[in-house]
Amino acid sequence: MPRTLTLLGLESSCDDTAAAVVQRDETGVANVLSNVVVGQNDLHKAFGGVVPEIAARAHAEKIDHCVENALHKAGVTLDDVDAIAVTAGPGLIGGVMSGVMCAKGLAAATRKPLIGVNHLAGHALTPRLTDDPAYPYLMLLVSGGHCQFLIARGPTDFSRIGGTIDDAPGEAFDKTARLLGLAQPGGPAVQNEADLGDPKRFRFPRPMLDREGCDMSFSGLKTAVLRARNDVMVDQKIRIQDVRDLCAGFQSAVVDVLAEKTRRALTLYLAEAPEFPALAVAGGVAANTAIRAKLESVCAEMNITFTAPPLALCTDNAAMIAYAGLELFEAGQRDGMDLVARPRWPLDSASAPMLGSGKKGAKA
Ligand code: KG4
Ligand code: ZN
């Protein structure tokens, strides 16, 4: 029986400052004891996107309060913690450095092990925190900065079999919201309006469905939304029903592309691992109910087990970093005071680098 392990996790790679405590008991069940996330939407609102310097300063100001709060909510002290896990990349470098410096300080002061975690691995391992699927499984990681299909074989063993060649879907949601005068982050705002719109009125392109494989492209969609918006605007104004129909048309294009590319990714994955028919989805866009429902039905069609973490664990959080840290700790990883913050850190270094660099930093 494994002993109880308690990990403190820190996350600061984009615009959420977060700290969490995750504990795995001696029966092997992992529990989130606390999950503190302080967002920065208000700070960036006026700029229409995340401003790296503002983000870094806010992380530096908030991270130690988040840690205190997370320990307090979990009912533990630093003495009870077995190791300190921190996002060491990829992300906006100033933010990642804030977290790494804080974690190093804590590790040095308490003499606890320090574990640098890849933010993408945090997302990709979240299903194991919530549902404990065995390795391997196919992962669709879909967020504001990332979109990729990964075969997860272990906490440091991932193969990327496809992904976006330009924007991530979350970026497309955010840009569409901006074009239509909706609030940021755009995903939830676009989803709410789409629920009240007609998805058939505007027929937006489904990019790259004519190409083999499971690479995707989302940057053309926002241009299509821009054109359609300009066509329906009168005196620089847009009617609310037009906004809703545009949102519904846009969302349905994203849903169709993700569904078809997921079918193809599953087919590729099953050729390698037919005895493990499992798909997990994570990242902020996995919070979208239309996307979740469609992926669930694709999996049902193909007899695949579908796992989607609860919404609070889909968007950026530190519980996923603490959990990934836990698996890495058990695998023997220990980092020293020379741990570096990395703006880019592909999960699968054997695959060619992805193109493009979005508002949320370089795509790994
Ligand atoms: O994973 P995340 O918190 O941050 C990273 O990008 O790493 O994802 C944030 C992204 C934003 O672009 C946001 O608009 C999108 O996830 N998002 C959604 C929804 N909720 C959040 N996109 C579509 N539908 C949603 N309900
Ligand atoms: Zn993320």
Looking at the chain, the domain(s) classified CATH 3.30.420.40 span 5-127+313-362, 135-308
- How far is 26 from 97, CA to CA, in rounded Å? 34
Is 224 near ligand 1, meaning CB less than 6 Å away?
A: no
Report the percent of the chain where pLDDT is more than 90. Answer: 80
Nearest listed ligand to the Cα of residue 185: 1
Q: Which whole number is the average pLDDT over 257-269?
A: 97
Is 173 near ligand 1, meaning CB less than 6 Å away?
A: yes
Most informative mutation of 44, 118, 143, 295 for ligand 1 (most atoms within 8 A of CB): 143
Report the pLDDT value the prediction gives residue 358, as an integer from 0 to 100. 44
CATH number for the 135-308 domain, one of 3.40.50.1370, 3.30.420.40, 3.40.47.10, 3.40.430.10? 3.30.420.40
Report the pLDDT value the prediction gives residue 361, as an integer from 0 to 100. 45
In this predicted structure, the answer to whether residue 359 has a pLDDT above a threshold of 70 is no
Report the pLDDT value the prediction gives residue 356, as an integer from 0 to 100. 45
Q: 78 alpha carbon to ligand 1 midpoint, in Å?
A: 32
- How far is 141 from 151, CA to CA, in rounded Å? 11
Nearest listed ligand to the Cα of residue 192: 1
Q: 197 alpha carbon to ligand 1 midpoint, in Å?
A: 21
In this predicted structure, the answer to whether residue 74 has a pLDDT above a threshold of 60 is yes
At 357, the pLDDT band (50, 70, 90 cuts) reads very low
- How far is 298 from 198, CA to CA, in rounded Å? 22
Q: 94 alpha carbon to ligand 1 midpoint, in Å?
A: 21
In this predicted structure, the answer to whether residue 363 has a pLDDT above a threshold of 50 is no
Q: 284 alpha carbon to ligand 1 midpoint, in Å?
A: 3
Q: Name residues whose C-beta falls within 8 Å of residue 186's C-beta, 6 or more positions apart in sequence.
A: 170, 173, 174, 175, 176, 177, 178
- How far is 202 from 224, CA to CA, in rounded Å? 10
Which residue's CA lies nearest to atom 10 of ligand 1? 144
Is 35 near ligand 1, meaning CB less than 6 Å away?
A: no
Is 15 near ligand 1, meaning CB less than 6 Å away?
A: no
Report the pLDDT value the prediction gives residue 354, as an integer from 0 to 100. 57
Is 252 near ligand 1, meaning CB less than 6 Å away?
A: no
Report the pLDDT value the prediction gives residue 58, as an integer from 0 to 100. 85
Is 288 near ligand 1, meaning CB less than 6 Å away?
A: yes
Is 251 near ligand 1, meaning CB less than 6 Å away?
A: no
Report the pLDDT value the prediction gives residue 39, as an integer from 0 to 100. 86
In this predicted structure, the answer to whether residue 219 has a pLDDT above a threshold of 50 is yes
The CATH number given to 5-127+313-362 is 3.30.420.40
pLDDT tens per residue, range 35-59: 999 888 788 877 777 888 888 898 8
In this predicted structure, the answer to whether residue 17 has a pLDDT above a threshold of 50 is yes
DSSP category for residue 285: G
Output the average pLDDT for the chain. 93
Is 184 near ligand 1, meaning CB less than 6 Å away?
A: no
> What is 18-39 written as a DSSP string?
EEEEEEE-TTS-EEEEEEEEEE
Q: 269 alpha carbon to ligand 1 midpoint, in Å?
A: 25
Cross-strand pairs, 32: 22
Report the pLDDT value the prediction gives residue 60, as an integer from 0 to 100. 84
Which residue's CA lies nearest to atom 16 of ligand 1? 284
Is 161 near ligand 1, meaning CB less than 6 Å away?
A: no
- Report the residue count for the chain: 364
